[in-house]
């Protein structure tokens, strides 16, 4: 009787692991198909004083797997989006210094499908 339960547990574990891996596999597939899946743009930039620039950061995303708790660090400033999903653009205002703009995007953090935390750190070679 217990042997049957054991095999059931093995089959259930393989199925559950496969289901849990699906968001990651779909995300990886979408990124491979379209390397420019996540597009970050600055729009409506304007100087608010001699050092600081106010701009809208616009994020568009192509994958069917939503990204949650997204944090983007530009220079020393960071901004957060609760959810970024497919075929929609997300806009948030950010105030940057010229130095921040020179440094560009340094960190991108997101939860893939709300499950797997991905952290990308960018450094100039």
Interface region with another protein, contact rule CB under 8 A, candidates 13-21, 36-44, 59-67, 83-91: 13-21
Nearer to another protein, 21 or 45 (CB): 21
Would you say 20 or 83 has its CB closer to another protein? 20
Contact segment (CB under 8 A) with another protein among 5-13, 36-44, 65-73, 80-88 equals 5-13
Q: How many CA atoms lie within 13 A of 70 on its CB side?
A: 22
Element (H, E) at 15: helix 2-33
**CB of 43 closer than 8 Å to CB of 55:** yes
Q: Which of residues 83-122 bind another protein (CB under 8 A)?
A: 115-122
The DSSP code sequence of 42-107 is EEEEEESSSSEEEEEEEEEE--SS-EEEEEEEETTEEEEEEEE-TT-EEEEEEEEEHHHHHH-EEE
- Interface of this chain with another protein, residues 28 to 57, rule: CB under 8 A: 28
Q: How far is the CB of 44 from another protein (least distance, A)?
A: 26
- Residue numbers at the binding site for another protein (CB under 8 A): 1-3, 5-6, 9-10, 12-13, 16-17, 20-21, 24-25, 28, 115-125
């Amino acid at each position: 009787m217990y042997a049957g339960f054991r095999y059931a547990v093995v089959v259930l574990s393989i199925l559950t692991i496969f289901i849990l891996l699906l968001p990651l596999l779909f995300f990886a597939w979408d990124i491979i198909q379209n390397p420019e899946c996540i597009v970050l743009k600055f729009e409506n930039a304007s100087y608010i004083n001699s050092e600081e620039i106010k701009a809208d950061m616009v994020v568009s995303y192509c994958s069917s797997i939503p990204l949650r708790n997204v944090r983007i660090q530009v220079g020393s400033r960071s901004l957060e989006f609760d959810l970024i999903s497919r075929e929609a653009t997300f806009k948030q205002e950010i105030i940057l210094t010229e130095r921040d703009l020179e440094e560009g995007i340094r960190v991108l953090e997101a939860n893939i499908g709300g499950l797997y935390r991905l952290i990308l750190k960018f450094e100039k070679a």
